[in-house]
Amino acid sequence: MTAPLVLVITSVEDVTADWVIGSLNEREVPVVRVDPADIGPGLSLGARIGTGAPAWGGRLRTTSREVELGEVAAVYYRRPTPYVSRFAHLPAQQRDFAAAEARHGLGGVLGHLHGARYVNHPGAVTAADFKPAQLQTAAQLGLSVPPTLVTNDVEAARKFAAEHGPVIYKTFRGLPTGEDGHTGAIWAQRVDPDTFDDTLTVTAHLFQAEIPKTGDVRVTMVGKKVFAQQIAAPDGALDWRRGDWDALLHAPIRVPAAIEAALHSYLSAFSLVFGCFDFALTGDGDEPGDWVFIECNPNGQWGWLPDAPGITEAFADILSTSTEGGGVR
């Protein structure tokens, strides 16, 4: 019988996953890395279920490894290549059909491995990726959130700005990949309500009251482990993500107990094991009232943080504990 292993689902070039895999290797935890978009000659699946065998079993084969599905104790779901990339050479209808079949077939099996702990489950990531769901959950857990409007109505946007100005605009998802294969970004930005016109009716927009903040905080939660850094951009930018991340200023900060408890409840509400939370501070951060919830990325980046070594070990801890204890979904 093969030793319980960790299945890492991500793209080939993923430094963050490399760090976690390296830590697992040092612990001699069996690890197999797979990018589902490799389906074809480089990746094959034979999965079975039926009477007397109520859970998916069988094998997943890469060019160098074989995985017994029943032996997967933990799944580290990072950032796999979109299935559509695998079939980009096909006509549009065939491309979309093949990608959907791969996602529902291969992805459906990999997302339902019995007894495996997912960090995080792709279904949980999808549910937790909607900003309206994030804000409502945070507010219901007692966290402060900025006054927020989701609208495509010009008059509603103008009224909101009059009541809560100055206001900022941010995207729900960001820019998709362009024809040149590159992705872009639209950062959170201040908006002038005098510029609102009928173009606003085309799609949904997210407006928020600008928080008079004294700083920003990134809180990374991995299981019960909490890592928090106050972040400042040298130029005082509204959105610290828009500049040179290597130039950002970091300082560790203590998370008030009430905030930490709410964040654990937040993860539980979405069935998440891991999340990257962004807060705006309105004071020195000592009191819960100083903390204003902005958003939570359920599959966020953390490799650039000073806490990265500790976060790496926290991931390895939770994944290797699953292999020792048989894993849970």
Number of H helices and E strands in the chain, helices first, is 8, 16
Q: State both tokens at 84.
A: 């559509």
Alpha helices in 225-272 (DSSP H): 257-269
Q: Which string of DSSP letters, residue by residue, matches 102-147?
A: HHHHHHHHHT--TT-EEET-HHHHHHHT-HHHHHHHHHHTT-B---
pLDDT band at residue 179 under the 50/70/90 scheme: low
What's the whole-number mean pLDDT along residues 155-174? 93
pLDDT digits (tens, 9 = 90+) for 49-92: 999 899 999 999 999 899 999 999 999 999 999 999 999 999 99
What's the whole-number mean pLDDT along residues 33-57? 94
Task: Decide if 5-120+310-323 and 123-146+212-298 have a common fold.
Answer: no
CB neighbour list of residue 319: distance below 8 Å, 6 or more residues apart: 6, 20, 24, 29, 74, 76, 117, 119
* Residue 70 amino acid letter: G
Residue range 5-120+310-323 forms a domain whose CATH class is alpha beta
CB neighbour list of residue 271: distance below 8 Å, 6 or more residues apart: 120, 121, 124, 127
pLDDT band at residue 197 under the 50/70/90 scheme: very high
pLDDT digits (tens, 9 = 90+) for 268-315: 999 999 999 999 999 999 999 999 999 999 999 999 999 999 999 999
Is the model's pLDDT at 174 over the cut of 90?
no
Is the model's pLDDT at 327 over the cut of 50?
no
Running DSSP on this structure, what letter comes out for residue 307? T
Domain spanning 123-146+212-298, CATH architecture: 2-Layer Sandwich (3.30)
User: What local confidence, expressed as pLDDT, does residue 4 receive?
Assistant: 78
Q: State both tokens at 69.
A: 């599905």
Is the model's pLDDT at 34 over the cut of 80?
yes
Q: State both tokens at 263.
A: 């964040």
Is the model's pLDDT at 320 over the cut of 70?
yes
Secondary structure E strands in the chain: 5-9, 31-34, 43-50, 53-62, 66-68, 72-77, 117-119, 148-151, 167-170, 189-191, 205-209, 215-222, 225-232, 249-252, 274-281, 291-297
User: What local confidence, expressed as pLDDT, does residue 1 receive?
Assistant: 41
Running DSSP on this structure, what letter comes out for residue 230? E
Q: Are 32 and 8 in contact (CB under 8 A)?
A: yes
User: What local confidence, expressed as pLDDT, does residue 181 receive?
Assistant: 61
Domain boundaries, the chain: 5-120+310-323, 123-146+212-298, 148-210
User: What local confidence, expressed as pLDDT, does residue 188 receive?
Assistant: 87
What's the whole-number mean pLDDT along residues 29-45? 95
Q: To 5 degrees, how large is the angle CA 144–CA 293–CA 288?
A: 55
- pTM, 2 dp: 0.92
